Structure 1
Amino acid sequence: MIEIHNIEKSFDGNAVLKGISCTFETGKCNLLLGGSGTGKSVLLQCVVGLMQPDLGSITFDGTVFSNNKVQVRQEIRRKIGMLFQGSALFDSMTVAKNVEFPLQMLTPEMSREERRDRVEFCLKRVGLENAGDKMPSEISGGMKKRVGIARAIAPNCTYLFCDEPNSGLDPLTSLKIDELIQEITYEYNITTVIITHDMNSVIEIGDHIIFLYQGLKLWDGTKDEILNAQVPELKEFIFSSSLVRAAKRIDDETHSGVESL
């Protein structure tokens, strides 16, 4: 579990995060939802230590991360896996070498054979057991996302952070990536945090959703609760999607039918 307490962050006097407090729950897909410029990426960078908040604290399973000793922060970072928006694979490395890279950096005690076994396991887990010798230029966008997931979980991460994992993907591939992230979260009991503005992802895998608006946390809840949320800014955001409007209409009709029985 990751707990965020009263995080504030400003740039040149412009407040980007305004006293945000929330919890990312273990074994669940925690979604940071909101439009562009709402503070999602800044909050994520503060949580993983790429940026220092001006105020507030962050704890990982009870251990304070922000403002702690370097050794403590480094130990927590070893448990963090990252799936970047553009996959961020090394073009000059094969798929297998990309997945092995964090193992070489973070687990020097592993032998070459142990690293190879771990790479093979992770690639098989994401359905790419036959792609290890390929170069990133030889695989599709969806496959690159899968490689990114394999690389993120290779060091046996406890916390998984995903920045717009469906960016640039078609709807079917996006659904498969969502399902894979959810499966891995449940299977390994990972604390997963996903930045998104995609309501399809919210409806599919939103175990715990946090809605940010202009640097404020305006709502949190589950995918089952979000369609009935009474926050005006959230309602305007979610019902901009035709899929969500249809889902809401079906939900209302279903409840009306049950009540009439």
Structure 2
Amino acid sequence: MIEVRNLSKSFNGRPILKNVSGVFEKGKPNLIIGASGTGKSVLLKCIVGLVKPDEGSVLYDNRDFFEGDRDTKIAIRREIGMLFQGGALFDSKTVEENVRFPLDTLTKMQREEKQERVNFCLKRVGLENANKKMPSELSGGMKKRVGIARAIVNNPNYLFCDEPNSGLDPQTSILIDELIQDISEDFNMTTIVVTHDMNSVMGIGEKILFIYKGQKLWEGTKNEITHSNVQEMDDFIFANKVMSSLREKQ
């Protein structure tokens, strides 16, 4: 479980996050949603420790990241897996080398043990025959699956996904969503997904935080979202439906 308490952050005197609190639960995808520029990415960066909030705290299973000592911070960072928006694969490395990279840099595992773990993770994302392929040979969806394999190769307790469906067609997006959900459940990970895709929200949104202009305006599940009575979220949902309709017509 990850808990954020009263997070606030400003840049150059401009408030980006305003007293945001929330709990992200184990074994399910926890979604942070909202329009572009609302503070979702800054909130994620605060949670993973890339940005220090001006006020508030981030607790990983009751361990305070920003108030903890150096050893606590290192221990938490070793328990984190990250799926970046663009995949962020190394173009000069094979699929296998990309997935193995966290093991090479963060562990002292023997090569055979690393290979077993890499093969297991690639099989888990449906890419068991892609070890020697280069990123240039992969589709967008395959790159995202390699990114997921790399994110889980170190057996993390916490998984962060930044716009995992960006640039993907609707069918592939559903496959990625289902994969993230299955992995969260299978490995009992605390997973946080930043997205503005309503298809993802309605597909895997078991726990949702809606951020608007740096504030948390609503918290609930996909079954409750259409009855929120929050006008800003109704506008967000409507805008997403319009954009989805336009994309389908193209």
What TM-score does the superposition give when structure 1 sets the normalisation length?
0.92
Contact 1:239 1:245 in 2 (8 A): no
Map 1:3-14 → 2, pairs under 5 A: 3-14=3-14
Residue 211 (structure 2) aligns with: 212
Which sections of structure 1, spanning at least 5 residues, go unmatched?
247-261
How many equivalent residue pairs? 245
Residue 122 (structure 2) aligns with: 123
- Quote the residue 1:154 is aligned against: 153
Counterpart for residue 241 of structure 1: 240
Distance 1:41 1:242 in 2: 22
Matches within 5 A, 1:1-261: 1-108=1-108, 110-242=109-241
Find the residue that maps to 1:241 and give its secondary structure.
Answer: helix
Structure 1 residues 227 and 145 mapped into 2: Cα distance closer, same or farther (>3 Å)? same
Further displaced range: 195-204 or 232-241: 232-241
TM-score (norm. length: structure 2): 0.96
CA distance in 2, matches of 1:206, 1:42: 21
AA in 2 matched with 1:205:
I
- 8 Å Cα contact 1:199-1:244 kept in structure 2: no
8 Å CA contact 1:126–1:146 kept in 2: the answer is yes
Contact 2:163/2:194, CA 8 A, preserved across alignment: yes
C-alpha displacement of 1:243 = 8.3
Indicate the SS of the match to 1:102. Answer: helix
- From the superposition, tell whether residues 245 and 155 of structure 1 become closer, same or farther in structure 2 (CA, over 3 Å): closer
Change in CA separation of 1:102 and 1:245 when aligned onto 2, cut-off 3 Å: closer
1:12-42 CA-to-partner distances (Å, cap 9, x unmatched) read 0000000101011111110000000110000
Taking only the aligned residue pairs, the percentage that are identical comes to: 61
The CA deviation at 1:242 is: 3.2
Root-mean-square deviation (CA, aligned residues, Å) is: 1.4
Residue aligned with 1:68, SS: coil
Amino acid across the alignment from 2:98:
N
| Inter-partner Cα distance in structure 1 for 2:67 and 2:83 | 25
Task: Give per-residue Cα distances to partners, 1:67-117, cap 9 Å, x unaligned.
Answer: 321110010010000000000000000000000000111112x10000000
Check conservation: 2:197, 2:240, Cα contact below 8 A: no
Task: Please give the secondary structure, in 1, of the residue aligned with 2:101.
Answer: helix
Matches of 2:9 and 2:114, distance apart in 1:
39
User: 2:39·2:214 contact (CA, 8 Å) conserved in 1?
Assistant: yes
Task: Give the Cα separation in 2 of the matches to 1:236 and 1:10.
Answer: 26
User: Cα distance, 1:241 vs. partner?
Assistant: 3.3
After superposition, give the CA deviation of every residue in 1:238-257 in whole Å (9 maximum; x if it has no partner).
Answer: 122338999xxxxxxxxxxx
Give the secondary structure class of the aligned counterpart of 2:223.
Answer: helix
Tell me, in whole angstroms, the C-alpha distance in 2 between the residues paired with 1:61 and 1:85.
26
Query: What SS does the aligned partner of 2:4 have?
Result: strand
Separation in 2, partners of 1:142, 1:203? 20
Structure showing greater Rg: 1
Q: Could you list the runs of 4 or more consecutive aligned residues of structure 1 that deviate by over 6 angstroms after TM superposition?
A: 243-246
Does the aligned pair in 2 maintain the 1:40–1:195 contact within 8 Å?
yes
Distance 1:68 1:90 in 2: 32
